[in-house]
Structure formats: structure tokens, C-alpha cells
Amino acid sequence: MKQDKTPLFDTLLDHAKRRVTSFHTPGHKNGRSIDKRLRTFTGRNMYFMDVTVFPEVDSLHDPVGPIKKAQQLMARAYGVEHSFFLVNGTSVGNMAMFLASCRPGDSVILSRNAHKSAMAGIIQSGVWPIWIQPKVDQNLDILFDSSPEQIEETLKRFPEAKAVFVTSPTYNGVVSDLVKIAEICHARGKALLVDEAHGAHLKFHKDLPISAVEAGADMCVQSTHKILSALSQGSVVHFQSDIVDLGRMRRMISMLQTTSPNYLILASLDLARRQVVQQGGRMLNRVIHWAEDARKRISALKHFTCFTRKDIISRGYDLDVSKLTINVTRTGFSGYEIEDILSDEYNVQVDAADIFNLIAIMGIGSDKSDINRLVSALEDIDEKYQGSAQNWILQLPSLSTEMVMVPRDVVLLYPSKRVPLSKAAGQISAQTLTPYPPGIPVLIPGERITQAIVDYLEDLAEKDIRISGQDGDALRSIKVVSLH
Ligand SMILES: Cc1ncc(COP(=O)(O)O)c(C=O)c1O
């Protein structure tokens, strides 16, 4: 079958056009009972595509028809053995990768800056995480995922690890040297799992870094909805492993996904694949050109700056140049404050902000006028606003941590109790505590709380630094494992 075909979308469209009398779920019956305000806004047609599983439209869990064909086309487009469609985003794919590649009690190496769905996978699968501290760059004010050297070193110390999990690209578009990491993993028979949520487009333009499957990853998960044109929640797992069992991966994905998938999301994956294969080169060319232009214009301002691909390559990584990380530290405002100004005053919404940066994600649907609006707003802010100088420094505390209990047991087996922070030393943490900045957990469920960690957290609480996981306005107590 050729890449210009869209078997799943075509089936759904044919079905919707037939205006079939529905005695199946969902209950809105082709949109008839959908609240009028929503239906008036969206029109009715799409609700004829919101169907349930029946032979004509195929089953996500046991595909034999159009879903099977659409997944095969996806696999061919990315050059892998098998692709699985996901309707709960990359989050569910990350969980499935842990469950498929490990058994309870195994261990996996990963960076502490992994997405929260990686922790969910660790809890569900009952594995021991072996954490690598991300590298901090105080010139660029960003963190880097594990380097090949860090991974090799960790594998030497923990040769029993079953897999290595890497986030590439990171939120900032920083891509790891996956070719080297794959070589290191495979020389030792370890599976390389890549959270490539932000990288579904990489394969389709020569000026973008190498994608995970091209670099040799055993599996990767991509949020097709983040940069390409799938609807939100539409993601894909790509599989090409001699180490992980394909049947086990299929079972794990099936276990985690709904039995009532949204067919609009599934069909949008089919269409996004055709679009990127057929027009991706041209569409991404424009996006890359505009992003590079914006990077130069923003860096020419007095108070804003963007790092370049050269900056990142000189640090041993690569950059997805379609993504803009805009450093705001010279404005005297935090990234959160500039995000608010952009949204309130200029009607421009960025994807994320931290103390130091804004992250503006370009997508395959971005337009030149979007970029111009963002850059002109920043030009205006550059002239009009002046914050009171901030002296934030991106740094990680030099605290040693030790996992003494597997996270699954902490979360699922043992009760927990709250103890005052001052009395927590010696206990085992039952929660994740993440100060912002730097956004890296100080404690993870299963780690021993040391006096040095307590001192550090007390210091943060005194300085009014927000700690995700704190119990109220300030961190006064910690949830710990109740062993008795
Ligand atoms: C690095 C990373 N991994 C995974 C995810 C989860 O992806 P999804 O929203 O598709 O579930 C995100 C979401 O932002 C992410 O940034």
C-alpha cells in the first residue's frame, strides 16, 4: 500500500457519510444530543465519526482491517518493524515501554528529569530506577539529558540494568547522541528506550537531528500531536527490537489503553502520517526557516536571547532548530511573568515557561504571521517593560540520594504518614518533591531522607521557593513510608 493512502480515515469518512442509525455507543447518537453550544461551534459532521468498535472500523486492540493497514503504513514511513497507535499520548507509551522491557525487580537507567509518565511506568512495572543527574548549563540556563559517557559509566556500575531510558529531544529541543548511546546499550545487550515525545518530525527533514529509530533505539514513543498534525492524545510507539518481545509490548499497550478509543484521534494519526511523508519536507523547511529567522531577531534584542544549534553541538548534543527556547533573564522578569504578559497583552501563548526561559514550540501548522506576532510582541516588551533584576541561578544541589525501596512497594504496598520536615531524616520518602528551579526532584518515592536533604529543603522553604509536592503554602512536612 502506498503512503498516499489513508485507510482508516477513508473508512471513517465513508461510514460518517452513510448517516447510519446508531444503536452503539457513544450516547450522543451522531451528535444529536451534544450540547447545542458545542455543536453550533463545531458543526455536526465530526460526531458521525465518533463511533465505537465494530468490524467496519476495526479494533485498536485486535486490528485486522483499516487500523492494521494504517499502523503498517506508519511503520513503513518510519522504517520500523511495527508501529502502535496510542490514544492517551506518549504518557501511556512510556509506561508500556517499562512494562514490556522489564520484569518486577529489574532495573532501568534514566535521567532524573524524565517526564512524570516515566515514574508512572516505574511504579507500574516494579523496576528499580537508577538515576543519572541531568547536566546543568548555567550559561544557557537549561538541563541536558544523560550523555553517552554518563550512560556508559552507569552501565559499568550497574551491569544488571535491563534498559536505558532517554528523553530526546528534551523540552528545549536538545537531542542526545543516540547513535553512540545505542552502540553502548547494544554492546551490552541492553534495550534503548527513547521518549521522543517532541520528535515525530525529525525523520522528515535533512536539517533536523537524527531520529531515535534511525539512531538504533529499540523503541521510541512520539507525540504525533505535538509537532505534527494529529489531534491531542494521538501518539505512536515505534518498535524495532531484538531485545524486547514484540508480543509483550503489544499486550502491555493493550492493557493500558481504553477499549473505547476516539476514532477521530486514530484517523488523525493516519492523516498526519500521510501529510508528513508527502509534504513534510516542504512544510518543515518553512518552519525551520522562520524559526532560524526568529532566533536571530530575538537574539538581536536587548533583553532576550536564543541559543543556536552551534551552541548545543559544541556541548556534544544536537538541536531541533524548529524549537525556540527564549532566555528572559536579562529582562528582570521570570519566564512565568513574560509568559503572562505575552498572553494578557499580546494574545500570544507559549507552550511553557520556567524561571529563565520561554519555550515556543513551532508545529508543522505554524505560519509566518504567528512568528511575526511573537517576535513583535517580544520587541515591544523589550522596549516597554523593565523588571526588577532577578538573581536566579540554575543549579542542582550536590546531594547524594539512595533508593532503598522499590517505588512500586512505596506507592502500592505500604501506608504512608506525614512527619514534620525537621523529623524526617532517616525515613523513606513516599512522595516526589521537586523545587522550581531547577525542576529536578530532590526526593523520589523510595529514597532515604538524609539530614543534608532536610537541611536543603528547609532552606528552600525559608526562601519561599515553590516545591511541587509541598502540603500547603510552604513545605512543613513530608509523606514518608509507614513501615509499622
Ligand atoms: C518529554 C515528554 N515526554 C512525555 C510527555 C507526555 O506526552 P503526552 O502529552 O503525549 O502524553 C511530554 C508532554 O509534554 C513530554 O514533554
CA-CA-CA-CA torsion sign (470, 475, 480, 484): negative
Rounded distance from Cα 298 to ligand 1 centre (Å): 27
Residue nearest to atom 9 of ligand 1 (CA): 89
Q: Are 74 and 83 in contact (CB under 8 A)?
A: yes
Question: In tens digits, what is the pLDDT along the chain, a chain of 484 residues?
Answer: 899 999 999 999 999 999 999 999 999 999 999 999 999 999 999 999 999 999 999 999 999 999 999 999 999 999 999 999 999 999 999 999 999 999 999 999 999 999 999 999 999 999 999 999 999 999 999 999 999 999 999 999 999 999 999 999 999 999 999 999 999 999 999 999 999 999 999 999 999 999 999 999 999 999 999 999 999 999 999 999 999 999 999 999 999 999 999 999 999 999 999 999 999 999 999 999 999 999 999 999 999 999 999 999 999 999 999 999 999 999 999 999 999 999 999 999 999 999 999 999 999 999 999 999 999 999 999 999 988 877 788 988 889 999 999 999 999 999 999 999 999 999 999 999 999 888 999 999 999 999 999 999 999 988 878 899 887 878 899 999 998 7
Ligand 1 atom at minimum distance from 114 CA: 1
Ligand 1 atom at minimum distance from 94 CA: 4
Residue nearest to atom 16 of ligand 1 (CA): 171
Rounded distance from Cα 90 to ligand 1 centre (Å): 6
Residue 20: strand, helix, or coil = coil
The C-alpha cell 550559561 sits at: 139
Distances (CA, A) of 404 to 323, 357, 393, 417, 427: 39, 35, 31, 17, 10
Mutate to test the pocket of ligand 1, among 86, 90, 111, 165 (most ligand atoms within 8 A of CB): 90
Rounded distance from Cα 103 to ligand 1 centre (Å): 24
Residue nearest to atom 7 of ligand 1 (CA): 90
Ligand 1 atom at minimum distance from 167 CA: 1
Q: Are 325 and 173 in contact (CB under 8 A)?
A: yes
Rounded distance from Cα 94 to ligand 1 centre (Å): 9
Ligand 1 atom at minimum distance from 170 CA: 1
Mutate to test the pocket of ligand 1, among 142, 223, 228, 233 (most ligand atoms within 8 A of CB): 223
- How far apart are the C-alpha atoms of 404 and 278, rounded to whole Å? 51
Ligand 1 atom at minimum distance from 223 CA: 10
Rounded distance from Cα 484 to ligand 1 centre (Å): 37
Does the reported pTM lie above 0.95?
A: yes
- How far apart are the C-alpha atoms of 358 and 339, rounded to whole Å? 7
Q: Any residues with Cβ below 6 Å from ligand 1, and which? A: 89-91, 115, 117, 167, 171, 195, 197, 223, 235
Ligand 1 atom at minimum distance from 93 CA: 11
The predicted pLDDT at position 45 comes to 97
Rounded distance from Cα 117 to ligand 1 centre (Å): 8
Structural domains in the chain plus CATH codes: 7-276 (3.40.640.10), 281-384 (3.90.1150.10), 407-481 (3.90.100.10)
Q: Residue type at 223?
A: S
Mutate to test the pocket of ligand 1, among 87, 117, 175 (most ligand atoms within 8 A of CB): 117
The C-alpha cell 493516519 sits at: 270
Residue 260: strand, helix, or coil = coil
Of 73, 95, 116, the residue nearest 444 (C-alpha)? 116
Count of C-beta atoms within a 10 Å radius of residue 213: 27
The predicted pLDDT at position 81 comes to 98
Rounded distance from Cα 220 to ligand 1 centre (Å): 12
Of 305, 376, 310, 391, the residue nearest 346 (C-alpha)? 376
